[in-house]
Structure 1
Amino acid sequence: MVNMTTQDTEDAIARKRPTELSPGAVVAQSLDNEWVNAQLTKEMIEKGTSLRDVEKIRGKEARAEYFRSLLNTRQVVVNRVFFYNNRAVSCDLVEGGAARRAHQKLLGDGSLVPYLVNEHQPAERPPNMTVDEQAFTAWQETVEGMPASSRITCVRMSWEDQENRDATRNGLFNPFAGQVQRLTATDIPLLAAQVGVPPERTAQFGARLHELVGFSSDRRTRGELVSRRVLYDEFVSVPGLPASDVRYDRNKPFAGEVKQLLDLIYNVNLADALGMYPLTPSGGLRRIALQEWRDVRTAPSGVVTDPEQLLLFLRRQAFSTVQDRLTPSAVDTLTLEDIWTLRQSEPWHEYMRAFDALTADPAAFHDRVGRVFDRYVRLNSEIVRVAAGRRASRAKAGKWAPVIEVVVIVGGAVFSAITGDDTWGVVGDVGAVSAKAGGSVQLVLRNRREGRREQKFAREIAAVRFDSAREWEQFHSMVRRLPGYREQSGSRAATSSATVQDDIPEY
């Protein structure tokens, strides 16, 4: 291992606060070393299997989401623990050679940004945490072996220790506990339906949430912090197991549903605290499940308050004919070196410029989304070219029907418009809607013939706020008049459609 002096390490770090990062920076939930999709969680509970047992299956999906986030955004903020406790990330560090060098390049240009809770250096061992020792050693070697000309961009809430402790408690721990405690203030039948609880078990699910909230409240009353790990041990996991061997306890009622909610709260809470976009994995629980329209929030993007302006997002868009009909059938069969190469290409830079222009002015959606679509298609062609150029490439190309999906969430209602490849349609799923309704506009770029690990992307591009029932009714009336609109009542599962001592304790 390369030995560096304290001064060497200090000089190798670019210290940033959240506001100093890229406006399009994201936090990817799939890089959470505890992330498991809902279906796999259910299977793990039924069979009593551990995270280690399902590592191959889970790792493929996490790896694909990892690569997608790097292909579709300028900057990905990663809780420093995930660099060595998530094998989808750490495998490149452990492998060494070209894979580790590619990781170092992404660290060196600020594409990957470690989020430090209370550490001053990214390679510090976090206190009171179990780590994958082989991967942690590889992470330390990666950091210490950075080229002399490179600096790793790291972010903390503040680089002044006391201010950081206060900001972390107030920006992470307290909001996390607060969101957990608000679960029983939600529409329980709606929430139950969204996480897949059968109607006949809704009452038991509501009672379990009351136990969760009561436990959280008791800890806060005693002045103890409420963390995801504490709640996991009580309501989800078999306690006392190392992170890599975690099992979800079949004897704990609704362990899977509670886990999905805690994971969603944990990851969007970190993104909110850092003022960034949360990336929810494809098929993951949507943020709408938290029913935040009851507490309208701000967003790093613009805020839409006019019903007519909001309607523009759902209207049919016209795109140029797509000539290239291929897409890599599995993004994770690329290498991290491929991802680095793609991020240096002109098609990638053009795609980023088009997306930046759109998110900077969501009101110009109709004029700018076509350029995003065009640049997305060009980037996909470059992905196919890079994959095909590798000797003995395993990244096979499949048929592609690229489409844009716009998802508008207002209160408890979800409207989804799909356009592209001669496809057009708008579907409304109307649930509970409050008089003061908040929500968001999400842009999804994907293959209509969807594969779970293909190149696709979803990101919130604007927040929504209606201040009266009249505005909601006006918007709903206009949407109903869109050609081809169809509506269904009730609620489908709220999963994506394509789609973070005297030291601070671990978040």
Structure 2
Amino acid sequence: MADVDNIDDLMTSIRPDQLDPGAVIAQSLDNQWVPAQLAKKMIERGESLEQVRKQRHKEVRAEYFRSLINASQVIINRAYFYNNDAINCDLAEGGLARTAHQKLLASGALVPFLLNERHPAEEPPAYLHAHGDGFTAWQETLDGMGAADRVQCVRMSWDHSENDRDNKEQTRTRLFQPFTEKVQGLTAKDTDILAAQIGVERQDVDRFRRRLGEVVGFSNDLSVRRKPVVRNVLYEEFVSAPGTNVAEGRYDRNKPFAGEIKQLLDLIYNTNLADALGRYPLTPSGSLRRVALQEAREARVTQGFVEDPEQLLTFLQRQAFAAVQDHLTPSAVDALTLHDIWLLRQNSAWHEYVTAFSALTADPGAFHDSVGRVFDRYVRLNSEILKLARGRRQATPNQWLPVVEVVVTLGAAVFTAISGNGIWEVVGGVTPLAVTGSVGGSVQLVLRNRLEGRQEQRFAREIATVRLASAREWSQFHDLVRRLPGYRETANTSPSATASATTQDNEDLLEY
């Protein structure tokens, strides 16, 4: 067992500002994350997370691998290393799988986030109900690290103050208090736009608005009574089936808008941790995107706002991309092993891809000059994935038609431009809602196979935040888009703000 009394033998303690600039928080590793369509079926059927375990495991595993492919560094709540089967299965398997995990830890590709703990091998608190075998595998993995290896662990503060006071205070102010504020601010949003983005039918918007008021009122009452406002407590009241443990993931179809409230709480929870660490939330395909929160906070990572309608239009204009020589890609990223992922990250194609994307996010205004380079590196990277997958019997190559997709969300309107592989199309989905003031949104870049499947390797991330000052500027942008060649428009009645990219209770300092 790893010696927790000799921390320096195993761990390098780092602060949030010492993380890689491109580090991400992968929402798919959240212990409540379920793909939107699967969550809908679960609620309809009254199923628990355990009852959809096999399907969910496959989805989480694929997203876990995608995060390691598409980001330089992945920050993971320490508890998930032993509680999340999609991660822990490699540790339990041993052999090459465990060795690959150890190499990813030692290289800083995987970074445990510690809340109360001061060491990654500490016994978990009793209220977490850690699976014994999973935690044993985690401890054995740490114990088997090379003598010179160090695990980078991030914490809000490593100050040795009495009772760890500084870490507790920073965690409250940077993590828990912002979560409370975001929940209590839900009714301050434009709820017509929020309802449209989350998929609420127009005839149900007033009921949805009242339900949000109940969520906010319940949260306010907790604050007044000096009770913690955490996701588990809100789940118990508005999402989970009565009499069940929140960890079971049994969501109550008799609670109004349980699925929609769950999506919002999960989005707030995961973006909040990313904000606290000053890094990116990586939202899985099909999950609600941050733009739904109608906030200005993303400007922190996108070098300010895009505020000019003509500048915004450049993201949707046609691009010329490198010719694609290889027309095959593995149909399932999760057909690979963690050892394959480690090998991929040692390849020059991976390093060039990550470097190209980092340059794009550092200067989204140079989109025209840099997106082609990102696409070219993406193509090369997928060729390397194909080489690795050819040795896996379960990996069936699919026809590959790689495309770049740019998604501009403005309020309840979504504009999508797709180009590459000889195609060009731009489509607008405009919800019939009156624009009366400023309107916010985002630009998302998606790299994917045109023949899209859930298990395909793909990339999706917000690259710019948008703020148009008035209805006049919104109309100006809309008119400019309408003039693009081949533009077509549909009237969306319920546009989606989904991506195309765990709290436990304790009175002293809650687990996040």
What TM-score range do you get, normalising by the shorter chain? over 0.9
2:147 is matched with 148
Gaps of 5+ in 1: none
Aligned 8 A contact 2:74 2:111 in 1: yes
1:302 is matched with 303
Structure 2 CA distance for aligned equivalents of residues 65 and 191 of structure 1: 26
Partner secondary structure for residue 235 of structure 2: helix
1:436 is matched with 438
Aligned 8 A contact 1:130 1:243 in 2: no
- The verdict on how the C-alpha distance between 1:44 and 1:371 changes in structure 2, with shifts beyond 3 A counting, is same
Aligned 8 A contact 1:297 1:438 in 2: no
TM, length-normalised to structure 1 = 0.93
2:216 is matched with 213
1:436 maps to amino acid: S
2:202 is matched with 199
Query: What is the correspondence of 1:241-256 to structure 2 with a 5 Å cutoff?
Result: 241=244, 245-256=248-259
Structure 1 CA distance for aligned equivalents of residues 204 and 282 of structure 2: 30
Structure 1 CA distance for aligned equivalents of residues 291 and 372 of structure 2: 27
1:408 is matched with 408
1:338 maps to amino acid: D
Query: What is the correspondence of 1:73-152 to structure 2 with a 5 Å cutoff?
Result: 73-127=71-125, 128-152=127-151
Q: CA deviation at 1:394?
A: 1.3
Aligned 8 A contact 1:288 1:412 in 2: no
- The verdict on how the C-alpha distance between 1:204 and 1:470 changes in structure 2, with shifts beyond 3 A counting, is closer
Question: 1:271-308: per-residue Cα shift (whole Å, max 9, x none)?
Answer: 1221111111111112232233xx56523122233333
Out of 29, 49, 54, the residue aligned to residue 56 of structure 1 is 54
Structure 1 CA distance for aligned equivalents of residues 391 and 479 of structure 2: 52
Identity, % of aligned positions:
61
Aligned 8 A contact 2:412 2:495 in 1: no
Partner secondary structure for residue 53 of structure 1: helix
Q: CA deviation at 1:422?
A: 1.3
2:330 is matched with 328
Q: CA deviation at 1:503?
A: 4.6
Aligned 8 A contact 1:104 1:146 in 2: yes
Question: 1:18-38: per-residue Cα shift (whole Å, max 9, x none)?
Answer: 221111111111011110122
Structure 1 CA distance for aligned equivalents of residues 425 and 68 of structure 2: 30
Q: Greater shift after overlay, 33-42 or 497-506?
A: 497-506
1:182 is matched with 185
Structure 2 CA distance for aligned equivalents of residues 410 and 199 of structure 1: 18
Paired residue total: 501
Structure 1 CA distance for aligned equivalents of residues 165 and 331 of structure 2: 48
Aligned 8 A contact 2:413 2:428 in 1: yes
Q: CA deviation at 1:464?
A: 2.4
Matched, 1:380 2:379: no
Q: How well do the aligned residues superpose, as a CA RMSD in angstroms?
A: 2.1
Matched, 1:395 2:395: yes
Out of 32, 38, 41, the residue aligned to residue 39 of structure 2 is 41
Partner secondary structure for residue 281 of structure 2: strand
1:27 maps to amino acid: I
2:496 maps to amino acid: A
Aligned 8 A contact 1:277 1:460 in 2: no
After TM superposition, the runs of 4+ consecutive aligned structure 1 residues lying more than 6 A away are none
TM, length-normalised to structure 2 = 0.92
Q: Greater shift after overlay, 279-288 or 119-128?
A: 119-128
Structure 1 CA distance for aligned equivalents of residues 498 and 199 of structure 2: 14
Out of 199, 205, 227, the residue aligned to residue 224 of structure 1 is 227
2:361 is matched with 359
Q: CA deviation at 1:202?
A: 3.0
